[in-house]
Amino acid sequence: MAPEFNYPTEIKGTRKLYSLFKGLKNPLEVITGNHKMAGDTYCIKSSLTHKNFIFSQDKEFTEYILKQNHKNYYKSEIQSITLGKYLGNGLLTNNGKDWLKQRRLIQPGFSKAKISNLVSIMEEEIDKAFQSFRPEQDVDLYDFFHKLAFNIVAKTLFSSDIDENRIKELGKIITEVQEVFAKEVRLPFYSQILKFLGVLDRTLEKSERGKAIIQEVLDKRRNTTEEKNDLLDMLIQTRYEDTQLPMSDEQLVDEMLILFIAGHETTANALTFIFFEISQNPDAEKKLKKEIADEEEMVFTSDSLMKKSFTSNIIKEAMRLHSPAWAIDRQALENDSFKKYSWPKDTLIILYISGLHRNPKYWKDPNSFIPERFDDENAKNFAYYPFGSGPRLCIGEHFAMMEMALIVRKFYKKFSFISYQKELDKKALVTLRTTSLKGKLSAI
């Protein structure tokens, strides 16, 4: 009798055990190795959790899941339940009608017109941060960008001053939650040990502390009569179409927490990779500096920052090589099939964006830093998804691209960065990050 479903090549035996255990610390190495062995789409069946996983770095398969048949796929329980218990029920973890309702409420705050109005606030924060820079100064840009990106999110989206100790505390909480979450997801049986040791309860307490910090920002706003006309004001004042009721405080805090995390975490990590790649490619830096000089007084305007440019090419190419959103997960609501493959409902789909972005099937010299490749007139059709795709395309894409372009141009108008590191250690948690980017500043 023929099998009911036709899965892709299955990873079995010792390689499967290796994948489960080694994948905890180094999922990039494991998933990349599995793709080399099994092709662009493979599956792993977990006998411990009775769950089936399909991994893919195939462009057509990715498009099918995220676009053509997106209605059959929710964010998987990995994010909606496991991550959701720590970060709440915001845009990142929500699903279905609730997600759509929240997306419609928040989307207007991220229109190109709204984002353009934020340039001057971003500039002020960036200039303030760069004031301390001196030629020949040693610096860790990883730490620097995390502080800067957090301050930019606080000022642009919520017009709020947050005490630096609070920033450090919230950043620490976010990192610790991600590390525990990664262990829970990659070694499900290990979560029982974490639970027994009290790690899960302590992590939940930390996430509640993070939400309490966000609640302080919300309470501060509610106790002022001054209109800020920012995203937070919009979120407080907006009403649901069906009930005409505002968001509850709990929902507001969840959305703000997600926006804080997504708005600073991915951008800071991307900036670290961008500056690393520029430091390793002097010709690209030279071309960037020429573009900055040629733009003259337009260089920091929203029109210049948001148009196609060598600056944006550098950002895109660095995010291709080191995509902060290194994988996208989905869960099948019903049985489904694509080409020769078929799978049952509840199958977990892991779209391996890091692998797709370096897949030689789609990219010439996939491991080389070549910003000019994005000059191609067909660039829109590249196998390129740093912000996802389809209806769940990242709401903050324009915000992030403008912020990163402004920081890159502000820095390279005055300085250069000489990296002490020739390679970066990568840590794949919810987002892809490094642990440091140490080097020396030099003036032009």
CATH number of the domain residue 317 falls in: 1.10.630.10
Select from 327, 324, 325 the least CA-distant residue to 269: 324
pLDDT value of residue 293 = 96
- The DSSP code for 75 is P
In a domain, 115, yes or no: yes
Closest CA to 328 of 349, 357, 359: 349
User: How far is residue 412 CA from its own chain's centroid?
Assistant: 24
For residue 344 the two structure tokens come to 């049952």
Distances (CA, A) of 349 to 15, 21, 60, 279: 19, 20, 14, 36
Say if residue 253's pLDDT is above 80.
Answer: yes
> Is there a domain that residue 2 lies in?
no
pLDDT of amino acid 41:
98
Question: If pLDDT is split at 50, 70 and 90, which confidence band does 322 have?
Answer: very high
Q: What is the spatial distance between Cα 267 and Cα 59, in angstroms, rounded to a whole number? A: 24
Indicate whether 1 pLDDT > 60: no
259 inside domain: yes
CA dist 64 and 76 (Å) reads 16
The pLDDT value recorded for residue 165 is 79
The whole-number average pLDDT for the span 422-439 is 90
43 is in an annotated binding site: no
Beta strands per DSSP E along 64-170: 73-74, 138-140
Residue 316 lies in a domain: yes
Torsions phi, psi for 133 (to 5 deg): -75, 135
SS3 (DSSP) at 242: coil
The answer to whether position 1 is within a domain reads: no
pLDDT tier at 245, thresholds 50, 70, 90: confident
The percent of residues in the chain predicted with pLDDT above 70, rounded, is: 96
Per-residue pLDDT, 260: 80
Could you list the beta-strand ranges (E) of 224-355: 328-332, 336-338, 341-343, 348-351
- pLDDT band (50, 70, 90) for residue 427: confident
Band of pLDDT at residue 230, cut at 50, 70 and 90:
confident
- b/e map of 262-278 (b: 16 or more CB within 10 Å)? bbbbbbbbbbbbbbbbb
Average pLDDT of the chain, as a whole number: 88
Provide the greatest CA pair distance for the chain.
73
Q: Is the pLDDT of residue 162 over 70?
A: no
pLDDT in tens, 206-228: 889 988 988 888 888 888 777 77
Whole domain around residue 82: which residue ranges? 9-443
Confidence class for position 295, pLDDT limits 50, 70, 90: very high
| Phi, psi (degrees; rounded to nearest 5) at 347 | -60, 135
| Residue 223 domain-assigned (yes or no) | yes
Number of domains in the chain: 1
Q: What is the pLDDT of residue 251?
A: 87
**Domain presence at residue 323:** yes
pLDDT above 90 for 256? no
pLDDT of residue 188: 58
Query: Across the strands, what pairs with 350?
Result: 55, 329
Instruction: For residue range 31-89, list pLDDT tens digits in order.
Output: 999 999 999 999 999 776 678 999 999 999 999 999 999 999 998 776 777 777 777 78
Q: Is residue 357 part of a domain?
A: yes
